[in-house]
Amino acid sequence: MAEYKSENEHRLEICEAGKWLHQKGFVAASDGNLSVRLPGKRILCTPTMMSKGMMRPDDLVITDLAGRKLEGTRNVSSEIAMHVLIYDRRPDVQSVVHAHPPTATGYAAAGLPLNKALISEVVLALGCVPLARYGTPGTPELAEALKGLVPHYDAILMANHGVVCSGATLLEAYFKMETVEHFARISLVTEVLGQQNLLSEGDVTKLMEARRKYFGMDTTPPRVMGCPTSAGPETAERVSLTKDELKRLIGEALQKS
Ligand SMILES: [Zn+2]
């Protein structure tokens, strides 16, 4: 159970996390948006057309669960629909953070999900990071593209756009954004090195079980979606032969042909 915070504390925290996004280069200009679920079926979210690194608590806007403005002098972010969708589909989620961190967004622009089981802690923290198909920001098209993924994933790449993360607290959602970008950089290094040594299917299963145990995640994605992608079973039908046995087998095969 998350500790109770007043509306004012949430306002201060959103401004603080907005600064982190900006300082880390996860957003440029007025990109990105953050929100927190408030009691009384309300959402506290960042305004449109404003740097997330330069907000004051009074700049934030309160909306209802359909994203309609209830309070605030500024206008609601055009991407509020993405937040509304996530709060609607995930009663466990209390906060949503959206940004355009360059490496992860590069993957999204290349049409590549971050779905490879390369780093144990990332599998533990996120399961995997799928890629939602492209939808014009601020339109129902984008919500439609996210719909099927939101129930299963806390971090999603949006094709040709950016990343959205959710969590039980604002800090949790923000940290997931950091993990996604950090993992994207590591993945990029493996691409540069030209080699990726994926965890085995057995190792991934163990990590997914641990994830369920630690986080009580009933949102853990069904592995049938192939996310994360492992190296396959360790014992992948591997056989060992002596040189002579191999020669004999090849000889036999040649005779038959
Ligand atoms: Zn965006």
pLDDT in tens, 172-215: 999 999 999 999 999 999 999 999 999 998 999 899 888 888 87
Residue 33 CB burial class (10 angstroms; 0-12, 13-18, ≥19): buried
- For ligand 1, the distance from its centroid to the CA atom of residue 84, given in whole angstroms, is 15
- For ligand 1, the distance from its centroid to the CA atom of residue 161, given in whole angstroms, is 6
pTM score of the predicted model:
0.87
- For ligand 1, the distance from its centroid to the CA atom of residue 29, given in whole angstroms, is 11
- For ligand 1, the distance from its centroid to the CA atom of residue 164, given in whole angstroms, is 9
pLDDT of residue 221: 55
Q: Mean pLDDT, to the nearest integer, of 87-114? A: 97
- For ligand 1, the distance from its centroid to the CA atom of residue 108, given in whole angstroms, is 12
Q: CA–CA distance from 55 to each of 11, 51, 181 (Å)?
A: 10, 7, 23
Tokens of 142: 């984008």
pLDDT of residue 39: 97
Contact 73, 58 (CB under 8 A): yes
24-38, 65-79, 134-148, 216-230: which range is least confident on average?
216-230
Most confident of 1-15, 23-37, 125-139: 23-37
Distance (Å, whole) CA 81 – CA 229: 30
- For ligand 1, the distance from its centroid to the CA atom of residue 119, given in whole angstroms, is 27
Distance (Å, whole) CA 255 – CA 252: 5
Distance (Å, whole) CA 245 – CA 127: 43
- For ligand 1, the distance from its centroid to the CA atom of residue 47, given in whole angstroms, is 13
Tokens of 35: 């929100």
- For ligand 1, the distance from its centroid to the CA atom of residue 83, given in whole angstroms, is 11
